[in-house]
Amino acid sequence: MLSTKLFQDFFKSQTSGGIVLIFCTLFSLILANSPFASSYHGIWEVDIFGHHLTHWINDGLMAIFFFLIGLELKREIFVGELSSIKKATLPIFAALGGMLIPAFIFFLTNNGTDTISGFGIPMATDIAFAVAIITMLGKRVPLSLKIFLTALAVIDDLGAIIVIALFYPNPELPLDFTQFGIAMAILLVLFALNKAKVKNTLFYIVGGIAVWWFMLHSGIHATIAGVLVAFTIPFDKDDAKSLSAKMEHALHLPVAFIILPLFALANTAITIDGGSLAHFSIPLASGIFLGLVIGKPIGITLFTFIAVKLGLCELPTAVNFKRVFGVGILGGIGFTMSIFVSMLAFTDPDYINEAKLMILVASLTAAVVGFFTLKVLLTDKQDYSN
């Protein structure tokens, strides 16, 4: 089946991609705190057509990452784990809990401070890292648990995209309705081409770039254009050769092994010294750490429990609430999305660096604790009770 093959390809690319991200992050942190730090930082500040290299990565290449997320989400809605109310209810409730509870914890710890705008930081889950960690547990992990984690993370990504669109406009530009209107008009043209069954890739590439360009200058973050354009791409649930399926397949490897590693290298070049720690904000640090490490597993497990007990959905075979809690801990691996949101939430570079540092600490904690928790919980393969 198309959905099965795409899921396997997706899972494999996310697994190896997550491992690459880990090495890139460690490499970046080491160089940023080495005698070569100045030269390393200089690489990302190279000017290209009036913008730093980091800017092109974050606002340009990451739009392709969000485009892939849009394609994956579209596939899940049509033929995957979100293709029916029965399938979608459980991961939707789990993802809602995994977003709302961390945001609430951040609000409690940062209310009344100038860091309250970072509430969206602990709401995100990094699917590549989470999948990489759960894969390290080997064959003991039931397929149903992998699918639950993947569906949860995909919905979590959608939630993060909505939060970015609603609460984090481009900090460098005021909202320009003219530019936004042009972007929407081009999107309507692309939807019309889809309805007319036009499958020429060039039209969608040129149109997608145009949407990105006008969205970039509209004051709304340009990466949102990637998700919107993805939903204009022709998709046929019975045809593995549909344009959407071919694009998704073609982008998996470049995103996993080029775009996300570049993002990690450019955005984790954090210098850790006495000066950087002198600005340390306890509310910001505690909000991120507690939101990701504590809020994620509590929110995911609590909302899953409520949904099941209300009879709105059922736990899949080989999944119980203990294992949901273990997956919830892995949900605390924020990384890519969390770092992305932190750069939109703050303009103060000290707050941005502190947020990035705490995201790394929290994500590492969630990865280690989640790995060993699931290792224990998955020892008895016969215990599927709630």
pLDDT tens readout for residues 106-144: 999 999 999 999 999 999 888 778 877 887 887 788 888
Residues contacting residue 183 through CB under 8 Å, at least 6 positions apart:
210, 211, 214, 215, 218, 225
**Percent of the chain at pLDDT exceeding 70:** 91
Domain assignment present for residue 181? The answer is no
The mean per-residue pLDDT over the stretch 19-46 comes to 90
Q: Count CB atoms within 10 A of the CB of residue 366.
A: 29
Helical segments of 220-259, H only: 223-230, 243-254
Domain assignment present for residue 211? The answer is no
Domain assignment present for residue 86? The answer is yes
Distance of alpha carbon 64 from alpha carbon 227, whole angstroms: 9
CATH of the domain at 16: 1.20.1530.10
Domain assignment present for residue 202? The answer is no
Domain assignment present for residue 82? The answer is yes
pLDDT tens readout for residues 198-253: 999 999 999 999 999 998 888 777 778 888 999 999 998 777 788 998 998 899 88
Q: Provide the residue range defining the domain that includes 125.
A: 2-168+221-377
In the three-class reduction of DSSP (H, G, I as helix; E, B as strand; rest coil), residue 51 is classed as strand
The mean per-residue pLDDT over the stretch 175-193 comes to 92
If one counts the domains in the chain, the total is 1
Domain assignment present for residue 189? The answer is no
Distance of alpha carbon 231 from alpha carbon 38, whole angstroms: 42
Domain assignment present for residue 215? The answer is no
Q: Supply the mean pLDDT for the chain.
A: 86
pTM over 0.85: no
Given a cut of 80, is residue 5 above it in pLDDT? no
Domain assignment present for residue 201? The answer is no
Given a cut of 70, is residue 320 above it in pLDDT? yes
How much is the pLDDT for 115?
93
